[in-house]
Amino acid sequence: MNTSIDLCCIMKNEERNLPEFMASFAPHVDKVIIVDTGSTDGSVELAKSLGAEVHHFKWISDFSAARNYSFTLGDSAYVMWADLDDSLRNSEAFKMWKAEVMPLADYHLAPYQYANDGKGNSTCSFIRERVVRRSMGFKWKYFLHEGMRPDSGNRQPSVEMANGWDIWHRRTQEDLNADRMRNLSMFQARERELDSRMQFYYGKELFEAGFWDQSLDWFNKAIVAPELEPHDRVLAFQYVGYALLHLGQKQLEFAESYKDDSYRQKANTLFHESIGRSLDALQLDPHRAEFHVNIADAFLKAGEAPKSIPFYEAAKSCQLPGGGKAGPVFNFLPMYSEYPRTLLAQIHAQMGNFPKAQTEAEELYRLHPSEQSKKILDEINKACAFNVISADAKDCDDIVISCPGGFQAFPWDGETYRTSFCGGSETAAIEMAENFVKLGRRVKIFQNRDAPLTSYGVEYLPVSGLFDYFKEHKPWLHIAWRHSEKLTNAFTIAWCHDLMLPGGERTANYDYVTALTPFHSRRLQTVQGIPLNKVFLTRNGLNPEKFVTEPIERDPMRFVFSSSPDRGLDRAMLVLDRVREAHPEVSLTIHYGIEHLEKYGLGALQKQLGKMIDERAWVKYVGKTSQPDLIRSFKKSSYCVAPADWIETSCIASMEQLCSGVYQIRRAVGGVVDTLEGAVMRGMAEVLKCPSEYGLFSAKDADTYAAAVIKAMDEKRYLRVKADPNDYAWSKIAAEWLAFRDSVKIG
């Protein structure tokens, strides 16, 4: 087998880098071929003296053209490329790879350690095409940020990944600054001819040059282009979050400089838009720590430090692709451990949660020993000496629900539940607590509030008193509401309302974690690795009293939509456009509201939905609605169509509509399938396995839903819907929890 290999490079003014470059690569390749593009220092003469073969190419502001020319030179079986500020690491492994592995494939990828911390540790790595078979005729593409795709046009190439050796990049900040201005001028000259990939890279160059607002325009153009490669889309979303974060920080600086709080309000808007865009991005890759960290950083800058905790926790739990090896999208390695651990230690200490701060600081120092991490650990150890949670607390009959970490933006209780708005998770906590009280238990809820309040028998207490309580008391049942922090040795159920439990991988911190449906249970097991014997399968519930209303006449042509509008409202209207061709009297009433979308980075969707609503006279937009009025609206309606991508853990809205007599046609995805299983079997609802691919909704899909809706209407299926709210009562679920706790042997 022919194992000859030429290293082909392009060069301009690299006199400083040449000695190290040649020493690193030359002994391990058959020939070093350098194409000079116009050096004005002594690079050409030095390269020749060090043994390189030097050629010349007139620079035409096109890196691919220069690289393609370099690939025409030489006669080896394989061609390798590198930049003059690169070095080859693990040369012995490279030699073995060259002899044994290289001849067996046409196109080889290898890790690229693109940035480092100055101490020999890589901070940014990804994989790049590195060695190709000459006879395949691979070509470079793009004038800048060039690349070679594994498609030569000759035959299907074989592709391999090399992990035993890698390339180390040594670019200085001075080099980067010089490149940036050159790169921007190259992009500006070609603005009108950029495809989606280059739109992304133009945005990246603008971002790195500090033109954050301009970069957003190009990132957003690239993101919506269907042909954009998945790895570039991931990075485009990431940089959108960064750009908004930088713009918000600049507004904070203005607020400080000019003593004007209007700038602070603008900053807050930008921070929350950054959060929203990064939350969107998590759908692309929930294991990308950079997304979680950006959300956490934005909460921190917005003055909402407790809300950042679950996202820093999630960042620690994220897995680097390939078990820590470089992947196609570059990763900032500190984001996966060192950075979130540092912030978590500091935040927990500031919140007074010193045991948790100590755990984080110890892990930080163990995994990332440095002067900084040692200083953090020492400071927290001093504080912990005065804040120790006793392991000898006395047993008591209390049920305690703990809500540390800022999982709610406002204090909620039985009063706010009845007079204002509460989310589904807060509603569940209040209902369960009140039903525990009715069953004879004493219940305390520690949460973000300034003063204690007793409401409907439940004690709502400031979270600041939580650790003092646990020093003295070991409750009969501790419910960790949407968190998995180890706060006590009492029997603990981590109450997971969401698709994932932040920190749920640390199963020693709790005895059981709740799953609201079989789907939810499977997801916790497969996504977070929580074992089945740690899962307590429970459910969401309803308050039957809400469904007691005056007699209400039902309109057989009235549809209702009550989910968050980003969960398929546009699709529902497109379906009903088609349904109205058969039933022109059909109307749609929309609850919940679209006004909140912009602050979550969904401003474009907000405008789109507003336009769609305005264009349809048969659509009635109500917006945010009280619970009693919402149930009345359900009882007036006959149908709901919801072809959404949104993955529910269980879907309370489905239960509410079912108990209100609404026939539902929903997409068969997530927990809603389990929630409606019995109703579907009895002909009271329908779930469609359409569309088959997440994120897509075609005209054909809309036709499929429309046909199902029309058939349901023709058969007057709303008359079949007979569900009893008492079957879903919170009182039954509370009794099941107490029975489960009684059945579990402790110790």
**pLDDT tens, 66-82?**
999 999 998 999 999 99
Three-state SS at 11: strand
Distances (CA, A) of 284 to 182, 219, 231, 236: 32, 16, 10, 11
pLDDT at 659: 97
pLDDT at 334: 87
Work out the end-to-end distance of the chain between its first and last CA atoms, rounded to an integer number of angstroms: 65
pLDDT at 720: 97
Give the single-character DSSP code of 592.
S
Distance in angstroms (rounded) separating the CA atoms of residues 331 and 335: 8
Fold classified for 546-728: Rossmann fold (3.40.50)
Distance in angstroms (rounded) separating the CA atoms of residues 70 and 57: 9
Nearest to 110 by CA among 136, 90, 140: 90
pLDDT at 451: 92
Fold classified for 5-171: Spore Coat Polysaccharide Biosynthesis Protein SpsA; Chain A (3.90.550)
Q: Is the pLDDT of residue 125 over 90?
A: no
**Domain 184-384 CATH (choose: 3.40.605.10, 1.25.40.10, 3.30.1330.30, 1.10.443.10):** 1.25.40.10
727 in Cβ contact with 684 (< 8 Å): no
Higher model confidence: residue 648 or residue 514?
514
Q: How many other CB atoms are there within 10 angstroms of residue 747's CB atom?
A: 3
Amino acid of residue 424: G
In 302-398, alpha helices (H):
305-317, 338-351, 354-367, 371-384
Pairing of strands 159-161, 107-116: parallel
Amino acid of residue 477: L
Average pLDDT over residues 553-575: 93
Helical (H) or strand (E) element with 607: helix 603-614
pLDDT at 344: 94
Distance in angstroms (rounded) separating the CA atoms of residues 208 and 191: 18
Q: Is the pLDDT of residue 324 over 60?
A: no
Three-state SS at 515: strand
Exposure string over 69-81, b if 16+ CB within 10 A, otherwise e:
bbbeebebbbbbb
What are the backbone dihedrals phi and psi of residue 558, each rounded to the nearest 5 degrees, phi first? -95, 125
Distances (CA, A) of 489 to 61, 485, 684, 747: 66, 11, 46, 11
- Token pair 């299926």: residue: 717
Q: Is the pLDDT of residue 624 over 50?
A: yes
Distance in angstroms (rounded) separating the CA atoms of residues 616 and 162: 57
Nearest to 112 by CA among 42, 191, 165: 165
pLDDT digits (tens, 9 = 90+) for 504-538: 888 888 999 999 999 999 989 988 889 999 999 99
DSSP string, 129-177: EEEEEGGG----BSSSS-B--S--SSS---EEE--S-EEEE---HHHHH
Distances (CA, A) of 117 to 113, 120, 121, 316, 324: 11, 7, 6, 20, 18
Q: How many other CB atoms are there within 10 angstroms of residue 432's CB atom?
A: 24
pLDDT digits (tens, 9 = 90+) for 98-123: 998 999 899 999 988 887 777 777 77
Partners of 446 in beta bridges: 402, 461
pLDDT digits (tens, 9 = 90+) for 49-61: 999 999 999 999 9
Q: How many other CB atoms are there within 10 angstroms of residue 1's CB atom?
A: 8
Q: Is the pLDDT of residue 94 over 90?
A: yes
Q: Is the pLDDT of residue 449 over 90?
A: no
267 contact partners, CB below 8 Å, separation of at least 6:
248, 249, 251, 252, 255, 301, 302
Sign of CA dihedral 593, 598, 602, 607: positive
Average pLDDT over residues 162-168: 89
Same fold yes or no, 184-384 and 546-728: no
* pTM over the 0.85 mark: no
Lowest mean pLDDT across 112-116, 489-493, 579-583, 720-724: 112-116
Helical (H) or strand (E) element with 730: helix 730-743
Domain positions in the chain are 5-171, 184-384, 395-537, 546-728
Torsion angle defined by CA atoms of residues 31, 37, 43 and 46, in that order, rounded to the nearest 10 degrees: 30
Higher model confidence: residue 563 or residue 480?
480
Partners of 32 in beta bridges: 7
pLDDT at 406: 43
pLDDT digits (tens, 9 = 90+) for 674-732: 999 999 999 999 999 999 877 789 999 999 999 999 999 999 999 999 999 999 999 99
Exposure string over 444-469, b if 16+ CB within 10 A, otherwise e:
bbbbbbeeebebeebbbbebeebbeb
Distance in angstroms (rounded) separating the CA atoms of residues 578 and 575: 5
Amino acid of residue 430: I
pLDDT at 503: 75
483 in Cβ contact with 503 (< 8 Å): yes
pLDDT at 381: 78
pLDDT at 409: 47
Q: How confident is the model at residue 261 (pLDDT cuts 50, 70, 90)?
A: low
pLDDT at 407: 40
Give the single-character DSSP code of 718.
G
pLDDT at 321: 66
CATH superfamily of 395-537: Glycogen Phosphorylase B; (3.40.50.2000)
Distance in angstroms (rounded) separating the CA atoms of residues 233 and 227: 10
Torsion angle defined by CA atoms of residues 528, 531, 535 and 539, in that order, rounded to the nearest 10 degrees: 50
Average pLDDT over residues 326-355: 80
25 in Cβ contact with 91 (< 8 Å): no
Nearest to 375 by CA among 395, 393, 361, 357: 361
720 in Cβ contact with 682 (< 8 Å): yes
pLDDT at 600: 53
Three-state SS at 347: helix
Furthest CA-CA distance within the chain: 96
Higher model confidence: residue 252 or residue 722?
722
643 in Cβ contact with 687 (< 8 Å): no
Helical (H) or strand (E) element with 608: helix 603-614
Average pLDDT over residues 427-448: 95
In 14-80, alpha helices (H):
18-25, 43-49, 63-71
Helical (H) or strand (E) element with 276: helix 261-281
pLDDT at 601: 58
Please state, rounded to an integer, the average pLDDT across all residues of the chain.
89
